[in-house]
Amino acid sequence: MSGDALGRSSPTSTAPTWPRSPAKPRTEVVAGASRDPAGGSAFEARTGRPTYIDWREMLAREKFDIVSVATYAPHHAEVTIACALAALA
């Protein structure tokens, strides 16, 4: 389902759910990626974390343990595989 259908303005809109997660004491939002500059700005305002236009750049620059892939379904495999490879690097 697209972010628009869920009332989300961008893929990074899932980030605000992390503070309500039972895992919150052990997690920290590091960065986000959004092709939409307005969505990226909103993410930065909510989280205080950087947003990348290109998710590949984010993977190259940021260190992470968990990634929430919240993009359109046809892109999930490509992004998920790239995240796994980046984590191994």
Q: Is residue 34 part of a domain?
A: yes
Q: Is residue 37 part of a domain?
A: yes
Number of separate domains in the chain: 1
State the residue range of the domain holding 46.
Answer: 11-88
- The answer to whether the predicted template modeling score (pTM) of the entire model surpasses 0.75 is no
If you average pLDDT over every residue of the chain, what do you get?
Answer: 78
Q: Is residue 26 part of a domain?
A: yes
Q: Is residue 74 part of a domain?
A: yes
Exposed/middle/buried for residue 30 (C-beta within 10 Å: 0-12, 13-18, 19+): middle
Q: What pLDDT digit, counting tens, does each position of 29-58 carry? A: 899 998 888 888 888 888 899 999 999 999
Q: Is residue 82 part of a domain?
A: yes
Q: Is residue 66 part of a domain?
A: yes
Give the number of other Cβ atoms within 10 Å of residue 43's Cβ.
Answer: 27
Q: What pLDDT digit, counting tens, does each position of 12-24 carry? A: 455 555 556 666 6
Map residue 10 onto helix, strand or coil.
coil
Based on C-alpha coordinates, what's the Rg of the chain? 13
Domain CATH for 69: 3.40.50.720
Q: How many residues does the chain have?
A: 89
